[in-house]
A = this chain, B = another copy of it.
Amino acid sequence: MKRTAMIGHLSPTHAGQTVTLQGWVNRRRDLGGLIFVELRDRSGMIQVQVEPDSPAFAQADRLRAEYVAEIEGMYQLRPESQRKGGVADYEVIASRVKVLNTAKTPPFELEKGAEVAEDIRLKYRYLDLRRPEMQRALMLRSRATAAVTAFLDGEGFVAVETPMLTRSTPEGARDFLVPSRLNPGEFYALPQSPQLFKQLLMIAGFDRYYQLARCFRDEDLRADRQPDFTQLDMEMSFVEQEDVLNLQERLLAHVFQTVLDVALPLPFPRLSYRDAMDRYGSDKPDLRFGMEFADVTTLFAGGEFAAFASAEAVKVLAAPELTRKQIDELERVAKQNGAKGLAWAKRSGEGFTGGISKFLTAQAASLLEQTGVQDGGILLFAAGEWKRAVTALGAVRLSLRDLFGLASAGPQFHVSWVTDFPQLEYDEDSATWTYMHHPFTAPHPDDVPLFGTERQSEIRAQAYDLVLNGFEIGGGSIRIHDPAVQEQMFAAISFTPEEARRQFGFFLDALESGTPPHGGIAWGFDRLVMVMSGATSIREVIAFPKNNRGADLMAQAPSFISTAQLEEVGLELAQE
């Protein structure tokens, strides 16, 4: 017998028809001599009723949780007293039941899966993945993959698979290494990203490239990192920043429309890096809600409150009423993020009480006007070196978001661009300049004359990040194609020609072989899908993720291997 429909595709138009369904027993109950079976497939769930005199009864009586069954029966309305509207008003009266397979009693109840310890869920991932939430998330991911492919194929992008076994570049993040048996003592590295290869494809004349690329970084795993992850990687030739941004906007809008039926308003708002930091204290600001900082540096400059008087920046945000305990918690957050403290004051009528209120008398009217703080509300101040102050207050802003559920009042999805990142960063520890994005990112043409001057910190990169609900879901840049600019860039980061050649040898040869103007972007595909599906961890949108020790608890990887396997690749375990 073939199934006549998937459960989720049944609708009132099937009423009165005999249907054949196949799926898993979600639950089986006995009531008044009848057997009730909830049958589940990836598309939905339905109640099946088996009457005691039905020829299906004997087989139905064998059913237990997670058995696989084929059920034929009449699709019909439930008794009027049980109807609530919608497809759940329909049930199937079984005329035939066939047990297609049995199942051991599951180690956890699937319906309570979300509460089960994650280690257990990962060990029995094949059961965990049966939960409708997990299936929905992975099916959403699949639809996003297909939508991306269709859009980019239609726009003339060429899908190219770049090497998985490539060269180790110890200068970046840590590589995963793969010993070569045919070349004893030598190693491949798994790719951290296809960055050089996608630029090579532009040099090779492919014009537009994309790939859903598996990437690998051997980092100490934080809560929401995976040793391997998926990038939607793209590159375009003969373009300027505006072309890349425009295409990306249309692509993301297409994905949201196709997958979620959500229309993203175009164009996406843009903030410069400076603006984003200055107003929201983050280079990936969550703009689903406001709570923008006011700049009150000049208001306090040279004043009597010593902590603010000579600060490079004094930033303030207006919070709702807070308890003393909440303020203490927010101060802890501010300190964790680099601030010396978190000054506060509570609005009371036209003045302030508590905290630093005694220093605010002269500024009260201005503060009320600039911040619009409500009566009873709290002003929170961060002061000091600009980047440190805004970063700390940015973290406080996100804590307030979580505390008051501020994001839920805004749009479900808010997308924006952050642009004009600095080209160079000064590293205090090594007292050297380094690249912020990567050494092939092109500077803004207007800023090229600043290389090697005292103002080189002001050079803006033609780099851009795509920000969704406070997550960086994409980042890219226009690349340098002019050898003269490349030389200036290497000089700025104190790379000698020899050093550059040692690190990037063959790529520099390629760059001199007829490189078109080009630029691109890579999306963190796991994170995008996570936000789209409403999940809170990328592990919820990856079928078989690793835990935070890098272990696959189901397949039990990594594992010890045989001495023979080690010998074949010419290696020994190091002695303690």
Q: Does A554 contact B (CB under 8 A)?
A: yes
Q: When chains A and B are docked, how far (Å) is the Cα of A307 from the Cα of B100?
A: 54
| Given A41-B207, A153-B146, A188-B557: A549 and B183 interface contact (C-beta under 8 Å) | yes
Is A402 interfacial (CB 8 A cutoff)?
A: no
Q: Is A272 engaged at the interface, CB distance under 8 Å to the other chain?
A: no
Nearest Cβ distance between residue A555 and chain B, in whole angstroms? 4
B-contact 0/1 string along A302-335, CB 8 Å cutoff: 0000000000000000000000000000000000
Asked whether B561 lies within 8 Å of A125 as measured between CB atoms, the reply is: no
- Asked if residues A24 and B514 are in contact (CB atoms below 8 Å), the reply is yes
Tell me whether B571 and A126 are in contact (CB under 8 A): no
Residue from A104, A179, A558 with most neighbouring chain B CB atoms (10 Å): A558
A126 touches B200 (CB 8 A): yes
Contacts of A260 in B (CB 8 A): none
Interface residues as binary, A247-262 with B (CB distance below 8 Å gives 1, 0 otherwise): 0000000000000000
A124, A160, A201, A481: which has the most chain B beta carbons within 10 Å?
A160
Q: Does A81 contact B (CB under 8 A)?
A: no
Are the C-beta atoms of A168 and B559 separated by less than 8 Å?
yes
Alpha-carbon gap, A6 to B212, bound state (A)? 26
Residues on B with beta carbons closer than 8 Å to the beta carbon of A218? 181
Question: Shortest Cβ distance from A175 into chain B, in angstroms?
Answer: 8
Q: Which of A174-201 contact B (CB under 8 A)?
A: 174-183, 185-190, 196-197, 200-201
Would you give the shortest CB distance from A85 to chain B, in whole angstroms? 27
> Which segment of A54-62, A406-414, A430-438, A562-570 sits at the interface?
A562-570
Please tell me if A42 contacts chain B, counting CB pairs below 8 Å: yes
When A67-B514, A163-B552, A571-B574 are in contact, do A168 and B205 touch as well, CB less than 8 Å? no
CB distance from A495 to the nearest CB of B (A): 19
Q: Is A93 an interface residue (CB 8 A)?
A: no
Contact B130 A159 (CB under 8 A): no
Interface: A385 (CB within 8 A):
no
Set of chain B residues within 8 Å of A200, measured between Cβ atoms: 125-126, 544
Measured between beta carbons, the chain B residues less than 8 angstroms from A220 are 182
User: Once the chains are docked, how many angstroms separate the CA of A68 from the CA of B511?
Assistant: 12
Q: Which residues of the other chain, B, contact A185 by a CB distance below 8 angstroms?
A: 560, 573
A497 CB to closest chain B CB (Å) equals 16
The answer to whether the Cβ of A18 comes within 8 Å of any Cβ in the partner chain is no
**Is A143 at the interface (CB under 8 A from chain B)?**
yes
Compute how far the CA of A564 lies from the CA of B80 in the bound complex, rounded to whole angstroms. Answer: 74
Q: Mark A358-397, 1 if CB is under 8 A from B, else 0.
A: 0000000000000000000000000000000000000000
Q: Cβ of A163: which chain B residues have Cβ within 8 Å of it?
A: 228, 544, 546, 552, 555, 557
CB–CB A174/B558 < 8 A = no
| Residues of chain B with a CB closer than 8 A to A512's CB | 102-104
Please, how many residues of chain A have a CB less than 8 angstroms from a CB on the other chain? 125
Q: How distant is the Cα of A556 from the Cα of B344 in the complex, in angstroms?
A: 59
Chain B residue with Cβ nearest A525: B161
- The interface-forming segment of A133-141, A263-271, A283-291, A419-427 is A133-141
Q: A554 to chain B: which residues have CB within 8 Å?
A: 506
**Any B CB within 8 A of the CB of A294:** no
With A161-B214, A182-B549 in contact, is A168–B561 under 8 Å at CB?
A: yes
**Complex alpha-carbon distance, A130 and B510, angstroms:** 12
A142 contacts B by Cβ under 8 Å: yes
* Least distance between A576 CB and chain B CB atoms (Å): 9
User: With the chains together, A552 CA to B100 CA distance in Å?
Assistant: 49
| Nearest CB of chain B from residue A156's CB, rounded to whole Å | 8
**Residues from chain B with Cβ under 8 Å of A481 in the complex:** 100-101
Q: A126-B203, A228-B165, A559-B187 are in contact. Are A146 and B139 (CB under 8 A)?
A: no
Q: How long is the Cα–Cα vector from A168 to B562 in the complex, in angstroms? A: 10
Check A543–B146 contact: CB distance below 8 A.
Answer: no
| Residues of chain B contacted by A216 (CB below 8 angstroms) | 164-165
| Min C-beta distance of A103 to chain B, whole Å | 3
Tell me the minimal C-beta distance from A436 to chain B in angstroms: 25
Contact A205 B559 (CB under 8 A): no
Since A142-B160, A146-B159, A186-B561 are in contact, a sample of 12 more A-B pairs with Cβ atoms closer than 8 Å, ordered by chain A residue number, is A68-B515, A101-B481, A135-B205, A135-B206, A138-B206, A142-B158, A150-B150, A164-B216, A165-B176, A178-B558, A506-B555, A567-B574
Going nearest first, the 6 A-B pairs with the smallest beta carbon separation are A103-B514, A129-B204, A146-B153, A186-B558, A167-B557, A180-B558
Query: Interface of A with B (CB < 8 Å)?
Result: 3, 6, 22-24, 40-42, 66-68, 70, 100-104, 106, 124-127, 129-130, 135, 138-139, 141-143, 145-146, 149-150, 153, 156-168, 170, 174-183, 185-190, 196-197, 200-201, 203-207, 212, 214, 216, 218, 220-221, 227-228, 230, 237-238, 481-482, 505-506, 509-510, 512-517, 542-544, 546, 549-552, 554-562, 565-575
| Cβ contacts A to B, 18 pairs, < 8 Å | A24-B514, A101-B517, A103-B513, A103-B514, A141-B160, A142-B160, A146-B149, A146-B159, A149-B150, A161-B230, A165-B552, A166-B555, A178-B190, A186-B558, A187-B560, A196-B555, A506-B556, A572-B574
